[in-house]
Amino acid sequence: VCGFLSAPLMNVSAANSDTNTTTKYSLKFNSNNYTEETATVDGKTITYRAYEKIVYVKNPVDTKYEIMNIYVPEEYYDGTSIGSYNADTAPIFFPNTVGGYMPAEPGSPGLDERSGEPNAALVALSKGYVVAESGARGRTTQNESGEYTGKAPAAIVDLKAAVRYLRYNDKIMPGDAEKIISNGTSAGGALSALLGATGNSKDYDSYLKKLGAANERDDIFAVSSYAAITDLDHADIAYEWLFNGINDYKKLVISSDTDYHIQREMVEGTLTDDQIQVSNELSALFPNYVNSLKLTDSNGTPLTLNKNGNGTFKEYVKSFVMNSAQKALDSGTDLSSLTWITIKDGKVTNLDFDQYIQYVGRMKTPSAFDGLDLTNAENELFGTSTTKAQHFTQYGLENSTVSSTLADASLIKMMNPLYYIGAKGTTTSSYWRIRQGTVDNDTSLAVPTLLSAKLENNGFNVDFSMPWDQSHGGDYDLDELFEWTDDIVA
Ligand code: DHB
């Protein structure tokens, strides 16, 4: 420990003699390099040490993003416990701020911009968690030569490298690196799930080595994932299975003008005949995919779909929506205006699935993820260092309306947690909390449902539900989230 305490405040060590043209960063955590911060949670002042902008690999590609902020309750420096946690046992809450598969700088504890309430990191600190927030490269990250540096699998490689840094420094840092709990929403929820699914997989090794990530395990204890935009190579067929026949759409288009002001515009429209044809073709491909997964519900009933898209899997999705409606009803929500829900003696006994989907409404046009004109966020995720965007499905390539190429199969695999859950040579997290709002139409409800079933079928502990009338978002139920994390750690 003494060696680290006397280290220079900057996180840069002398370059090795054989690579004296490159600056190398130290992987050793510097306990002295912090500021003392205070914040108020529920009227109580908390004090914590903020270690910010720590480069977590030896050879970063982009030090704007490959950095981590670490926050530690002050109590842990004088031997005090917070609840049942102390400096040795405190779990490490590991939220990412990734959205839209864009690059993300690490977040920090504070007030949520929209709600004005303490954000997840601040609540975690107040409950005695150590908080480690990692940044990650994203689909638009470029170097000085204009090459893209954040295309798949960069973001997941960065998060893994950050996990390895935490393990590498476990002995000198407060918190228990065997109790890392990842959290994220949307693209960040997808990366949280991917991090949990792919622990220690060799597939990412060459990328981690190149970055100079610590030579440590990168499996994590638990995953919290909200509104995950995941299973990207099947997300189009899952979306059309759910929304086929809904031809009107309403989407939020976010763009930035020349002064980089973000513009949000609600665009309404109706699918063209060509788009309806694409929807029909894509939805027809979904049953084979579901059936190929050979999943069952918790009673062992196979989850399948016939060629019309009906079957036990659809009933299974519906059961989560019904459970959600029941919970809303039990907590006093008036559902009587929703004529498609059947309620008898305070019990939700049925739900007209088609009418429910009409109520949710379509947001995206087919194909929703692998855009046929390569203009979707996900097309850009699968670009290369020199190509802005690519397809990542055979259907997308074959039906492309522009000159295009297909991403490498290995990269498509590396971005999809479903290929890794329970796979040989992979340490998948034991505990999962997955949430998808019942009116979230950014991806199909089938996506988190398949993820949850795949996990459960492989023996992992899954808490999956669909919060009632919740749209695309996350971190809206922090009390319940931290009850769950406290429970699984205990
Ligand atoms: C996000 C939302 C999307 O609809 C999508 O396709 C990808 C990412 C997001 O909010 O992160």
What is the spatial distance between Cα 142 and Cα 266, in angstroms, rounded to a whole number?
A: 29
- Given the cut 0.95, state whether the ipTM is greater than it: yes
Number of CB atoms found within 10 A of residue 304's CB = 18
CA of 29 to the centre of ligand 1 (A): 34
- CA 156–ligand 1 middle distance (angstroms): 16
* Per-position DSSP letters for 225-244, written without gaps between them: EES----HHHHHHHHHHHHT
Rounded distance between C-alpha atoms, residue 289 and residue 278, angstroms: 17
- The residue behind tokens 């954000």 is 119
User: Does ligand 1 have an atom closer than 6 angstroms to the CB of 186?
Assistant: yes
Where would I find the beta strands (DSSP E) of 257-386?
262-270, 341-344, 347-351
Cα 138 to averaged position of ligand 1 atoms, centre (Å)? 13
| Residue 102 alpha carbon, nearest atom of ligand 1 | 11
Nearest to 63, CA basis, from 22, 108, 4, 20 = 22
Concatenate the DSSP letters of all residues of 458-489 into one string: TT-EEEEE--TT--S---S-HHHHHHHHHHHH
Query: Reduced to 3 DSSP states, what percent helix, strand and coil does the chain have, rounded to the nearest 5?
Result: 30, 20, 45
| Dmax (CA) of the chain | 78
Per-residue pLDDT of the chain (490 residues; tens, 9 = 90+): 222 323 333 334 433 334 344 568 999 999 999 999 999 999 999 999 999 999 999 999 999 999 999 999 999 999 999 999 999 999 999 999 999 999 999 999 999 988 899 999 999 999 999 999 999 999 999 999 999 999 999 999 999 999 999 999 999 999 999 999 999 999 999 999 999 999 999 999 999 999 999 999 999 999 999 999 999 999 999 999 999 999 999 988 877 665 666 677 889 999 999 999 999 999 999 999 999 999 999 999 999 999 999 999 999 999 999 999 999 999 999 999 999 999 999 999 999 999 999 999 999 999 999 999 999 999 999 999 999 999 999 999 999 999 999 999 999 999 999 999 999 999 999 999 999 999 999 999 999 999 999 999 999 999 999 999 999 999 999 999 999 999 999 9
Report the nearest-CA residue for atom 5 of ligand 1. 100
Kindly state the tokens that stand for 23. Answer: 């600056």
Which two structure tokens, joined as six digits, stand for 420? 């890794």
Tell me, using a 6 A CB cutoff, whether residue 107 lines ligand 1: no
Do the Cβ atoms of 114 and 87 come closer than 8 Å?
no
